[in-house]
Structure 1
């Protein structure tokens, strides 16, 4: 496969405008891009980070995609559903995906304008049932570039990792390792933490596959995206900023990865388990 990086991931939300305000407070950033698709019946709000983007996708008006989002969400505040990988050559990647049995759908070209700037891209979905409940797309940007606004103190700068829960790690390794050709960086079982951890790397972002050993998932349960860890430029500033703004967060604590500190986010997270992390170690 010709994958460069994770272009973005998608969180489905009931109202993209309201979710952008809420998530912007959490990330400490302004929304970088918005567009409305009346044909699909959706509104998109995007935050450009240093190594990927966060796309909030919600229903707006009538349209089949918006109706499907409402059906998926029910009364949930959000759902982390989709990984979109970047490629320089969408046609060659489509051919490769066909050869690898990823069941690629047709390539679709799209374009949108916001604040006088236009972005265009081509994409296709991989329909391989190995991905279970995770929607996987390939995308190539054909016009427009990401403009990342420098973050203020305590703001999110990049995504450290995205967590995917599985009950069948061998199947997941076949999907992301053998078929998508992501680099396997770690495969380790930690009895103390009650899980097997499989790390796939794409550019400088990790997709952390977790098989929990407590039997909470059965062999019939489908793989699903679970949570996100964002890196911030100063965790102490982030803790102060969020606490003052009324966002519920835990105390800062030592992270599992050496030299890191983390805190849990307990509100304004759109229902997605969320950690904030920095690499400054203990003080």
Structure 2
């Protein structure tokens, strides 16, 4: 199926100005652009990274999408809202998904306007959340040139910034359904499916365009029960890549951000640090290479 990438990750926020300032602090980069979707009743701020972009999005008017965002914010507050899967062939993807049994729309035209008057155009393929594990997930084909989404500029030391997204975490009550949908129906490569009793979970890693969708089915214990079998899957957290985790951690600490000490990552040869604020309610991890491992 013609999927090429995780095009962007959507984060719902109430206060776009405050969220934009927080993500400039968090990523160490200036916002790429700000704009709005008059037909949707929303406004947004985009941080274009190497392999995807982060879209902070907020309701600002009337429209079905604005209504959906307000409901999400009232229920859950700021946080991860959805994922857009990137395609270069929206019509072909829609046909493939429809043939596979998804209630996918034909490509729907969309447009956004930046403050300087630049208009960005795209085509979306929407799927009801009931078809995709209860998640907000759709596909997008950009019609406008990529130059309309400039890369977020680093402030200070490039190595201390977030330059890419490493993975997005999804919690699910049913790993088999996740494998069937994401792997078989949608055609996203399942790189690893393993039982991890040390963490009380089944962990599935789907790879697309250099980003991992880490899908977790937690078994639960006396303190934390498993998700109800009929519960929708939920977006949970995100990990950003930094070339120098220690420098990124120090940059954030100097800016007054609540960030953990650097520690060894679960993946051999990596370092990680946990960010505890300035992330709009998204549990956030910094991950990057361990220089010591390269020397060993």
TM-score (structure 1 length as normaliser): 0.94
Aligned residue in 1 for 2:32: 32
Matched, 1:250 2:251: no
- Aligned residue pairs, count: 283
Higher helix share: 2
Hey, which of these two has a bigger chunk of strand by percent? Answer: 1
The answer to whether the 8 A contact 1:42-1:61 is kept is yes
- Once residues 2 and 167 of structure 1 are traced to their aligned partners in structure 2, the CA distance between those partners, rounded to angstroms, is 28
Residue 47 of structure 1 corresponds to 47
How large is the RMSD of aligned CA atoms in angstroms?
1.7
Check conservation: 2:98, 2:104, Cα contact below 8 A: yes
For residues 38-61 of structure 1, the C-alpha deviation after alignment (integer angstroms, 9 at most, x for no partner) is: 332210111111111111110113
Structure 2, unmatched stretches of 5+, are none
| Residue 206 of structure 2 corresponds to residue 200 of structure 1 | yes
1:133 Cα offset (Å): 2.7
Deviations 1:235-260 (A, max 9, x none): 11111111111110011000000110
Q: Say if 2:2 and 2:93, in contact at 8 Å, map to a contact too.
A: yes
Is 2:110 the counterpart of 1:104? Answer: no
Cα deviation code 1:135-168 (max 9, x no counterpart): 1111111112043245334111111111110110
Tell me the CA shift for residue 75 of structure 1.
6.9
Greater than 4 Å deviation, 4+ residue runs: none
Deviations 1:220-273 (A, max 9, x none): 221111110000121111111111111100110000001100000111111111
Whether the 8 Å contact between 2:31 and 2:152 is mirrored in structure 1 is no
Query: Are the aligned partners of 1:242 and 1:249 in contact in 2 as well (CA < 8 Å)?
Result: yes
Gaps of 5+ in 1: none
Deviations 1:163-222 (A, max 9, x none): 110110001111100111111100111111221111101021110111112233121221
Q: State how far apart, in whole Å, the 1-side matches of 2:289 and 2:16 are.
A: 31
Distance 1:14 1:199 in 2: 31
The answer as to whether partners of 2:33 and 2:150 remain within 8 angstroms in 1 is no
2:50 and 2:35 mapped to 1: Cα distance?
A: 21
